[in-house]
Chains A and B, each alone.
Chain A
Amino acid sequence: MASETIALAAAHDVPQPIGTILHDWVTTVDHKKLGILYILYALIFLVIGGIEATIMRIQLIVPHNDFVSPQVFNRMFTMHGTTMIFFVAMPILFGFGNYLIPLMIGARDMAFPRLNAWSFWLTAFGGMLLYFSFIGGNGLYGAGTAPDVGWFAYAPLTATAFSLGHSTDFWTLGLLVSGFGSIGTAINILATIICLRCPGMTLGKMPLLVWLNLVMAAMVLLAISPLTAAQMMLSLDRFLGAHFFDTLAGGSAVMWMHFFWIFGHPEVYVLVIPAFAFASEIIPVFSRKPIFGYPVMVAATICIGFVGFSVWAHHMFTVGMNSYANSFFTITTMAIGVPTGIKIFNWIGTMWGGKIVFKTPMLFCIAFLFQFLIAGLTGIMLSAAPFDWQLGNSYFVVAHFHYVIVGGILFTLFGAFYYWFPKMSGRMYNETLGKLHFWLFLIGFHLTFDFMHVPGLLGMPRRIYTYEPGRGWDIWNLICTIGVFFQIAGTAVFVGNLLWSYFKGKAAGNDPWDAWTLEWSTSSPPVEYNFARIPIVKSRRPLWDIKHPEDPDWKYE
């Protein structure tokens, strides 16, 4: 068994001219290089989206502030939301999926390597198209630069009557193009997982990360399609005089909301399920125990995948649906808390009786558990339609979904970065800097997003570029903005750590965490085509079986 999983010898010692290296990266169809391209591309946009958030927080530090004009502020929140969802979160998660899935299922590449490259470059082009709006958005009308319609771009603000120039078109086309990239990647992930598993890896023996990415990819396929359709309809409205959403000509604003949120809510699960996937790999390894309740974890994920498509209109409790529709979306939304809760309990079950090692990846995952608990509970509050009539579109909602996206997804992503960095780069990161990053970011996150709930309860709506003094909002906004600077410091430490470790870090070795899944049996970084011989597995933890031949998992599973 052991000899079968030995990797090809590393062959990267020969220095090559920079032109050749660049050419290799641009033309690559290797899933690992594409994964890294996705991740680097997303990191650049993470910094850009972060700068946009910082501009907003500085503007809101005191009431009646004049740091930026309302027009600029509106562009900032539109670009921040669009960037973070479509050009940070999705590509970064696709990047990790691309990199890890073939390695974890014992495959030599994705099922469709050229589709893979095509998808990445489409996504990359979509992001550039969106940002080109800063230059090209003026169009022939001399109006508007970057889009300022909000990231969910409610009709009829996007109609030609209210959005002059081409800013909305850049938004539409940017998302349309990157949406096709996402669909390509989703098809690729599905095909890879279904067809390319190594001998012995039945569906029930796949690592949880692979299972969760399978569900995620299926959801992408179903969720991106209505968004793509809606973007096309919007373009028809704007260019060919169609009237789908053009209310001045009898179109329906509410129809856009339905189209957007039947994409938009599953999208939340598309982002959070890969985050669950990271936690499901990292927590067992650092607790030194197998995942608790593997089949239940899989079932809960599939359940989330299905129920996730029946909750979208909880974003629309205030649009005047009748009381039966409001009740329906209340119960479905509350119901999705059950499988999510089961996941949290199973992670606790995994840690229970273990020997927890507090390395940086585990710290981020533990913080994720606490924060996701709170995010889930504020989600329950928002699912009660009448409570949402007060909380919806207020800063409470902003705090809630940042708790999900930053406190949940970004924290596990940071954990994933530290966990797989040794595999991807062959170097160990600096543990002290990693912990410094963790604590700075933890403090910053809680300062910003804990206290952001309060102005929401005090009646502060989102997306306002300034606010009146005397409404009890000032102090909380001040604290939120202070937290941002801790987050910036943390992120700077993170980027510095990655750069420093990439050049100066200690050699990591093949399996620095004494882990159990197949990627740790390859060299660090893995060579092209990953495995000299396709491994054969007998359990969910093939490397455990090799390391503990006297007590292998397959006897018990």
Chain B
Amino acid sequence: MVQKIHFNSQSRIQASWIKWASFLLASYWFAPQTVFGNPQDPSQIPNIFKPQSTPAHSIFQLSLFVLAICAVIFVIVFSLLAYSVIKFRRRANDDGREPPPIYGSNQIELAWTVIPVLIVLVLFLATARVIHGIQQAKPPAEAIEVIAVGHQFWWEFRYPGLGVVTANELHVPASDPAHPTPTFITLLSADTDHSFWVPRLAGKTDLIPNRENHMWMDPNEPGIYVGQCAQYCGTQHAKMLLRVYVDPPDKFRQWIEEQSKRAQVSESAKEGRRIFETTACINCHAVSGTVADGRFGPDLTHLMSRDTIASGAATNTHENLRLWIHNPETIKPGALMPAMNLKQQDLDAVTAYLETLR
């Protein structure tokens, strides 16, 4: 009996071992599947190998070329290594004599110097072409101009030609390859270093104080593309999320039109507006057409047109908004917005006021 139980638990351990081991081995199969599979994936996975914009696409093509060369080198050197380790192991019937010493060979050294040099030259030329292609692109007349300013821990987006200021959710028009309307972004920082990275649209570029950087994208497939800050910028670097809404051209025009309007404040939210404008809120936030003109925090003129708050840390629902005003620490510990310690009734009024800002 004891014997039998023992046997059972053994086989169970063995079975779970096999399960784990095969799961882990399968991971080596799934890794390339995840990365390369299904190019039309509608999910929110910011996969660098599913590009939807010219810069990301030319990087993708270059990366395939680099990967292919690396794969060939890998297979050759790996095989040589594996072969020599297996072939030249000391056998059980070894005679104990030392193998013949070989000190080197100039011909072989020359061969494995020259071949890698040639590979490096080819790789470099292919790379330099892509570097110049992306960095030296000039904006056409139809290009949309955006200024992105990195803040701890959110994004400010200004459309200087269009009179629009928004935060965290960048809207750009889908670009038709026949009539391209690319978006050229000037990158600035208000405090520390940040990095603008939406993998499916373009490589990352840093936002650095006292410095002006540039990047561009011309996405052609409407949709929402996610990314986030890619340069450590302080406590809440992790929740400095970024969303790019690629709109069809007419929808983009409509969005611009709505965003360039002043705030429409309804009478019902008068009390909330009074509290908002008489507390510290307006030190940091702006609502156009009112006395609120702070610049440290996101512009709230069209807050309710955004899907998320706190730079993507929470969805823009009544509960989340109220909680955020009540105590930002619960959603984003380390965020620079202080808890305003409003009374329940004032909190409701301010929330109601903000909810009128469409």
A is bound by B: yes
Footprint of B on A, CB under 8 Å?
A: 69-71, 74, 148, 150, 154-157, 162, 247-248, 250-254, 287-290, 292-296, 318-320, 322-323, 326-327, 330-331, 334-335, 337-338, 341-342, 344-346, 348-349, 351-358, 366, 369-370, 373-374, 377, 380-381, 384-394, 447, 450-451, 453-454, 457-459, 461-468, 470-472, 475-476, 479, 548, 553, 556-557
Check if A318 sits within 8 Å of B204, measured CB to CB: yes
Kindly identify which residue among A69, A381, A464, A475 contacts B67, using a CB–CB cutoff of 8 Å. Answer: A381
- Which 9 A/B pairs are nearest by Cβ-Cβ distance? A389-B203, A459-B46, A464-B238, A320-B213, A247-B209, A293-B104, A323-B135, A459-B199, A472-B45
8 Å CB contact of B334 from A71, A327, A390: A71
Q: A475 CA to B28 CA in the complex, in Å?
A: 12
Question: B113, B130, B204: which contacts A392 (Cβ < 8 A)?
Answer: B204
Contact B89 A70 (CB under 8 A): no
User: If A70-B236, A463-B237, A467-B238 touch, does A377 touch B99 (CB 8 Å cutoff)?
Assistant: no
Chain B contacts with A in 256-281, Cβ cutoff 8 A:
none
Contact: B35 with A454, CB < 8 Å? yes
Within the assembled complex, what's the spacing in Å between the Cα atoms of A289 and B292?
79
**Are the CB atoms of A387 and B206 closer together than 8 Å?**
no
Taken residue by residue from 33 to 62, chain B's Cβ proximity to chain A (1 for < 8 Å, 0 otherwise) reads as: 011000000011111110000001011001
Which chain A residues lie closer than 8 Å to B131 at the CB level? 323, 326-327, 330, 385-386
Residues in B whose Cβ lies below 8 Å from that of A346: 104, 109
Contacting pair A354 B192 (CB below 8 A): no
Would A390 and B124 count as touching, CB distance under 8 A?
Answer: no
The CA of A357 and the CA of B89, in the complex, are separated in Å by 6
Q: Looking at the complex, which one of B58, B113, B208 makes contact with A254 (CB distance below 8 Å)?
A: B208
Q: Smallest Cβ distance from A114 to chain B, in angstroms?
A: 40
CA–CA, A292 and B107, complex, Å: 13
Once the chains bind, are A150 and B47 in contact (CB under 8 Å)?
no
A331 touches B192 (CB 8 A): no
B80 part of interface (Cβ distance < 8 Å): yes
Question: For residue A466, which residues in chain B have a CB less than 8 angstroms away from its CB?
Answer: 238-239
CA distance in complex: A69, B195 (Å): 23
Residues of B within 8 A of A457 (CB): 35, 47-49
Give CA–CA (A69, B234) in the complex, Å: 13
**Cα A318 to Cα B230 with chains together (Å):** 10
- What A residues does B29 contact at CB under 8 A? none
Residue of A whose beta carbon sits closest to that of B124:
A331
Give the residue name and chain of the B residue nearest to A323 (CB).
Answer: B135
Segment at the A interface, from B70-78, B140-148, B159-167, B216-224: B70-78
Q: Are B59 and A387 within 8 A (Cβ)?
A: yes
- Counting CB contacts under 8 A, is B246 at the interface? no
As a 0/1 sequence over residues 133 to 157 of chain B, the CB contacts with chain A under 8 angstroms (1 = contact) are: 0111000000000000000000000
Question: Residue of A at shortest CB range from B240?
Answer: A464
Answer whether residue B4 sits at the interface, using C-beta atoms and an 8 A cutoff: no
For B84-102 the 0/1 string (1 means CB < 8 A from A) is 1100111100100011111
Min CB gap B54→A, angstroms: 12
Question: B84 touching A386 by the CB < 8 A rule?
Answer: no
User: Are A369's CB and B81's CB within 8 A?
Assistant: yes
- Decide: B135 and A470 in contact? CB cutoff 8 A: no
Give CA–CA (A377, B197) in the complex, Å: 24
CA A387 – CA B56 in complex, angstroms?
Answer: 9
Question: Do the beta carbons of B203 and A390 come within 8 Å of each other?
Answer: yes
* Residues A253 and B208 in contact, CB atoms below 8 Å apart: yes
Assembled-state Cα–Cα distance A396/B37 (Å): 19
Decide if A384 touches B81 in the complex (CB within 8 Å). Answer: no
Contact status B203-A355, CB under 8 Å:
no
- Do A472 and B116 touch (CB < 8 A)? no
Query: B336 to nearest A CB, angstroms?
Result: 11
Q: Are B232 and A154 in contact (CB under 8 A)?
A: yes
Residue of A nearest to B212 (CB): A320
Is there contact, CB below 8 Å, between B237 and A464?
yes
The contact of A458 among B47, B102, B108, by CB within 8 Å, is: B47
Contact, CB under 8 Å: B45 / A323: no
Task: Tell me, in angstroms, the Cα distance from A117 to B77 when the chains sit together.
Answer: 43
For B56, the closest partner residue in chain A by CB is A390
> B117 an interface residue at 8 Å Cβ cutoff?
yes
Q: Across the interface, do A355 and B90 meet the contact criterion of CB distance under 8 Å?
A: yes
Nearest A residue to B229 via CB reads A461
- Whether the Cβ atoms of B104 and A292 lie closer than 8 Å is yes
Ordered by A's residue number, 24 sampled pairs between the chains whose C-beta atoms are within 8 Å are A70-B334, A253-B209, A290-B101, A290-B103, A295-B104, A319-B208, A320-B187, A320-B206, A320-B214, A326-B131, A354-B88, A355-B94, A356-B89, A370-B81, A373-B74, A377-B70, A384-B63, A386-B62, A386-B130, A386-B203, A447-B24, A463-B237, A479-B24, A556-B101
Task: Decide yes or no: A154 and B44 within 8 Å by CB, A355-B90, A389-B203 being known contacts.
Answer: no
Residues of chain B lying within 8 A (CB to CB) of residue A251: 210
Q: Indicate if the CB atoms of A472 and B43 lie closer than 8 Å.
A: yes
Residues of A within 8 A of B101 (CB): 289-290, 553, 556
Alpha-carbon separation in the docked complex, A450 to B91 (Å): 32
Residues of B contacting A148 in the complex (Cβ-Cβ under 8 angstroms): 235
- Does A381 lie within 8 Å of B193, measured CB to CB? no
Q: How far is the CA of A471 from the CA of B67 in the complex (A)?
A: 23
A386/B103 contact (C-beta < 8 A), A394-B230, A479-B24 known? no
Q: Are A337 and B120 in contact (CB under 8 A)?
A: yes
Cβ-defined contact, B124 with A334, below 8 A: yes
**In the complex, given contacts A156-B193, A290-B103, what are 10 additional A-B residue pairs having Cβ atoms less than 8 angstroms apart?**
A162-B234, A334-B124, A352-B84, A373-B77, A380-B123, A385-B127, A386-B131, A393-B231, A459-B45, A471-B44
**Nearest CB on A from B82, distance (A):** 8
Does B293 sit at the interface, judged by CB under 8 A?
A: no
Tell whether A479 pairs with B81 under 8 Å between CB atoms, given A157-B234, A250-B210: no
Determine if B232 and A150 form an interchain contact, defined as CB atoms under 8 angstroms apart: yes
Contact across chains for A338 and B120 when beta carbons are under 8 A apart: yes
Select from chain B the residue with minimum beta-carbon distance to A453: B31
Residue in B closest to A473 when the chains form the complex, CB atoms? B45
B116 near A337 with CB under 8 A, answer yes
Contact B333 A351 (CB under 8 A): no
Q: How far apart sit A310 and B146, CA to CA, in the bound complex (Å)?
A: 35
Given the complex of chains A and B, what is the CA–CA distance between A197 and B226 in angstroms?
61
Asked, given contacts A154-B231, A389-B59, A557-B103, whether A381 binds B116 with beta carbons under 8 Å apart, the answer is: no
A295: which B residues are within 8 A, CB to CB? 104
User: Shortest beta-carbon distance, B161 to chain A, in Å?
Assistant: 23
Partner of B47, one of A354, A355, A472, A475: A472
* Contact among B199, B206, B209 with A390 in the assembled complex (CB-CB below 8 Å): B199
**Contacts of A356 on B, CB cut-off 8 Å?**
85, 88-90
Q: Are A289 and B102 in contact (CB under 8 A)?
A: yes
Bound CA span A38–B35, Å: 43
A381-B66, A458-B34 as given contacts; A318 in contact with B205, CB under 8 Å: yes
B181: CB under 8 A from chain A? no
Which residue in A320, A326, A370, A458 is a CB contact (below 8 Å) of B46?
A458
Is the pair A292, B203 in contact by a Cβ cutoff of 8 Å?
no
Out of B116, B210, B229, which one reaches A253, CB within 8 Å? B210
B99 engages A288 (CB within 8 Å): yes
